Amino acid sequence: MKDYRPRLSVDLTEEQYNRLSALIPWGLKQKLFSTIVDDLITVIEKHGNSAVAAIIGRAVKSGEYLLTERKEDG
């Protein structure tokens, strides 16, 4: 069996893509998004679907759910 490497693919608007590309160098994107996914998994495991709803509904400020989690952990 070959090395299995699951991937996450999401559609972006052209504006999102352009802004993201201007802000984050290509070589850092994989590491950055992998870290965000790890943190997001932790938040959802701890808070469940309410965390998903809060993020999608923007009931918390951008990234606040990740920063808050780090403060609680450390």
What is the tens place of the pLDDT at every residue in 36-51? 899 889 889 988 999 8
Give the residue with greater pLDDT, 73 vs 26: 26
- The structure's pTM equals 0.73
Residue 28 has pLDDT above 90, yes or no: yes
When mean pLDDT is compared over 13-17, 44-48, 59-63, 69-73, the highest value belongs to: 13-17
CA dist., res. 50 & res. 48, Å (int)? 5
Predicted confidence at residue 1, as pLDDT, reads 64
Residue 25 has pLDDT above 60, yes or no: yes
Q: Is 52 helix (H, G, I), strand (E, B) or coil?
A: helix
